[in-house]
Chain A
Amino acid sequence: MIIESRSLVVRTAGLLTAPVDDEIVILNPARDNYVGLNAIGRVVWDLIEEPREVAELCRSLSREFGATPDQIAADLLPFLAEMAEERIARVIAAP
């Protein structure tokens, strides 16, 4: 899957979640699997409650963690790909 800066990312519908301090546990009933996100993953999770462009995500995280958008993108894109693979997020190709 190619994730571009204009791709949209959003949570998969119908997931069940439970916070554990700053982290979060997600149950995907459709796949019958649990996924845990650490505190940084949780920030991304909170941001994609509504569909967001990858570039916008990078800017938000850049402000949050004090890194450049490029540095953020280097970590974020593989993470988004992993979320998509686990089917807890959907990546919608740029129009």
Chain B
Amino acid sequence: MPHQALLRAARALSCDRVSAEVICVLRDADIQTILLKGPSIARWLYPRGGRGYTDTDILVRACDVGPAADVLRSLGFTDLLDGFHPLERDADLAETTFVRRAESGHGPDGLVDLHHNLPGVPAPSEALWQAFSTDAETMLIGDVEARVTSRTALGLHIVLHAAQHGFLGHTREDLSRAIAVMSADDWRGTAEMAARLGVTDILGAGLRHQGAGAKIADCLGLPRLPLADSRFWPGFAPRGSASAAEILSATTLRQKTDRIRRVLLPSPAKIRYVSSSPDRRGWSLLPSYARWWRDLARATAPAVRHARARQRLARDDSNHASPGIFSD
């Protein structure tokens, strides 16, 4: 068994273990869940293995996010962005990431993304819950019965996820396999769901990213995304372009200076997060701050150019707004 394949499988199993634990405890707290992506994609599209995943994605109703977060904290998880300044958090984020370290003594390492929506979906969280829960299926994770998305919904999620990540890495392979196993009729249900959620443009563009998918998109009459230039897709957006866009779009001088100050002098929590050094405190963070400022100096010009271009496009094409999935 190749070493890398073994490691990938072991990591996925470790995630499954945490998923089973979390789903079980959330169920005991009367919180409904839908387990997203990872194991569903792996079992459906990679029956011989090879699709790794490193976190657990769980969808709950928006009204259950608070109680579910409390449950996760009771299991030893903490908010990955704890200590971030409010301006450093994306207010519209569709998910909150919780992390648990085995050293805490509460259980194995775990990373849980608690979703109430998905990046790029403009529809309200409740609409997504309705769409994904209506035909939800069940899957055994160990001895825990987990609710997972139907293949109709999973197809849509695969496209959205690939678009969110610029069709890079395993998202491209996921999409390619989904297109190979789903017929045009299967995608029709997905297209109807996309229409309800306001993401028909992204579905069309995502399918058209691959030759076989383009035929399906044409067959279903899916629209073409007007922002055809790949530079405008988030996976290709330069680093920092979301922050630059926020600064440019701030309406008052006060808002602009607050945001600029936050970029120039991030909170220690953010520096710990971006430098992957959770235990550093005080002066030991100085090298990480230095790296931040060096990277900032390199990233600023392309990020501002990209954000300005995006603003121009939004103005020129107000009838076809951006897909709304740009991120840092």
Instruction: Tell me, yes or no, whether B55 is within 8 Å of chain A by CB.
Output: no
Q: Which residues of A contact B50 (CB under 8 A)?
A: 20-21
Contact of A38 with B1 at beta-carbon distance under 8 Å, contacts A13-B143, A15-B142 already known: yes
Alpha-carbon gap, A23 to B5, bound state (A)? 11
**Distance in angstroms between the alpha carbons of A16 and B142 in the assembled complex:** 5
Q: Count how many chain B residues have C-beta atoms less than 8 Å from C-beta atoms of the other chain.
A: 21
Classify the secondary structure of A's interface with B.
strand
Report Cα–Cα, A66/B108, bound state, in Å.
44
Judge whether B48 is part of the interface by a CB distance below 8 angstroms: yes
Q: Are A20 and B143 in contact (CB under 8 A)?
A: no
Interface pair A16/B6, CB less than 8 Å apart: no
Q: Nearest chain B CB to A18's CB is how many angstroms away? A: 4
**Contacts between chains A and B (CB distance < 8 A), count:** 57
Contact (Cβ within 8 A) B141 A16: yes
Chain B residues with CB below 8 A from A81, complex form: none
A25:B48 contact, CB within 8 angstroms: no
A29–B19 CA distance with the chains assembled, in angstroms: 12
Q: List residues of B whose CB falls within 8 A of some A CB.
A: 1-2, 5-6, 9-10, 12-14, 16-17, 20, 42, 47-50, 108, 141-143
Q: List 23 A-B contacts (CB under 8 A).
A: A13-B143, A15-B142, A16-B20, A16-B142, A17-B13, A18-B49, A19-B9, A19-B49, A20-B1, A20-B5, A20-B6, A20-B49, A21-B1, A21-B48, A22-B48, A25-B10, A26-B13, A27-B10, A27-B13, A27-B16, A29-B142, A34-B13, A36-B1
